[in-house]
């Protein structure tokens, strides 16, 4: 009888766990980031295995693990390297399609190359056939803006800030998801202070109104530019996680 009771309790718990996992609602104890990459566990000089090509043609472009130039002089970063003409393409990660308030994307970057061509884009898609939100780093006009783009309804843009190409930069991009109470994108820019070894805020937090999300985000991408020139684009400390509504005010101060 004792064995039967124990079996029934175990079966009941398994069924409850399965039901909660299938419900699509992000539970309070699910605090692990969706993506958390610093590339330090990979071998310098080898191909990057953490982010995979998921659109376009890579051709002769390289995406390597680099330890020669990192923002704090330690560990590794991801290096995109181009030596001949190529078109747009990108790498990315699938995201768990769960309901939560906000998606927080934070990434460190530094660009080397012709100012008219060295740029990249961050993108999140509501589902695999629809681009919804985009953050453009740099531009084809030789300037260094960070532009927020809402592709959910038309193609609305807003200049959020400008970065310094001579230093390492970090962006924190907050995108409202299914249950957000504020349909606004926010972007915070920081630069690495090598002397004091800390991140310093650059300007004010940028923002723009965003269209309503109908489904949880499914995909994150880093999009590389088309160019005829030699380029080196470095990325580090990519972290993507969910954030509840009550934490947004503190993050955009």
Residue 3 has pLDDT above 70, yes or no: no
Alpha carbon distance 253, 248 (integer Å): 9
Residues 6+ apart with CB under 8 A from 164: 144, 191, 202
CATH number at residue 215: 2.60.120.200
Radius of gyration from C-alpha coordinates of the chain:
20
User: If you average pLDDT over residues 188-208, what whole number do you get?
Assistant: 96
Residue 251 has pLDDT above 70, yes or no: yes
Is 8 domain-assigned? no
Is 121 domain-assigned? yes
Residue 247 has pLDDT above 90, yes or no: yes
Looking at 72-76, 105-109, 112-116, which range is the least confident one?
Answer: 112-116
Domain that holds residue 34: 27-251
Is 7 domain-assigned? no
Task: Tell which wins on pLDDT, 32 or 21.
Answer: 32
Is 127 domain-assigned? yes
The secondary element (H helix, E strand) that includes residue 7 is helix 2-22
DSSP for residue 32 = S
Is 90 domain-assigned? yes
pLDDT value at residue 30: 56
Is 232 domain-assigned? yes
Is 10 domain-assigned? no
Residue 9 has pLDDT above 90, yes or no: no
CB 177 within 8 A of CB 100: yes
Alpha carbon distance 107, 220 (integer Å): 12
Looking at the structure of the chain, the number of domains it has is 1
Is 21 domain-assigned? no
Q: Residue 22: pLDDT band by 50, 70, 90 thresholds?
A: very low
Pairing of strands 169-176, 102-113: antiparallel
Q: Residue 183: pLDDT band by 50, 70, 90 thresholds?
A: very high
pLDDT digits (tens, 9 = 90+) for 223-239: 999 988 899 999 999 99
pLDDT digits (tens, 9 = 90+) for 112-165: 877 778 899 999 998 877 888 999 999 867 679 999 999 877 789 999 999 999
Question: Residue 203 corresponds to which tokens in the numbers above?
Answer: 């300007």
Residue 106 has pLDDT above 90, yes or no: yes
Task: Tell which wins on pLDDT, 33 or 4.
Answer: 33
User: If you average pLDDT over residues 25-40, what whole number do you get?
Assistant: 75
pLDDT value at residue 28: 37
The tally of CA atoms less than 13 A away on the side-chain side of residue 176 is 20
């Amino acid at each position: 009888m004792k064995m039967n009771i124990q079996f029934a309790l175990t079966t009941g718990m398994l069924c409850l766990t399965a039901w909660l996992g299938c419900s699509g609602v992000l539970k309070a104890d699910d605090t692990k980031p969706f993506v958390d990459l610093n590339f330090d566990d990979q071998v310098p000089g080898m191909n990057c295995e953490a982010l995979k090509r998921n659109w376009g043609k890579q051709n002769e472009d390289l995406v390597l693990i680099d330890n020669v130039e990192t923002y704090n002089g330690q560990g590794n970063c991801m290096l995109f390297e181009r030596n001949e003409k190529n078109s747009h393409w990108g790498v990315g990660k699938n995201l768990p399609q769960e309901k939560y308030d906000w998606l927080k994307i934070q990434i460190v970057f530094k660009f080397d190359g012709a100012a008219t061509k060295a740029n990249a884009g961050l993108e999140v898609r509501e589902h695999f056939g629809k681009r919804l939100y985009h953050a453009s780093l740099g531009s084809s006009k030789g300037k260094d803006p960070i532009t927020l783009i809402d592709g959910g309804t038309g193609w609305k843009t807003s200049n959020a800030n400008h970065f310094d190409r001579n230093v390492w930069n970090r962006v924190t991009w907050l995108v409202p998801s299914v249950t957000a109470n504020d349909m606004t994108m926010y972007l915070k820019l920081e630069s690495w202070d090598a002397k004091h070894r800390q991140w310093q805020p650059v300007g004010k937090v940028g923002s723009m109104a965003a269209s309503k999300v109908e489904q949880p985000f499914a995909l994150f991408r880093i999009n590389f530019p088309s160019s005829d020139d030699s380029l080196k684009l470095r990325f580090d400390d990519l972290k993507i996680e969910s954030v509840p509504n009550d934490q947004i005010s503190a993050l955009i101060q």
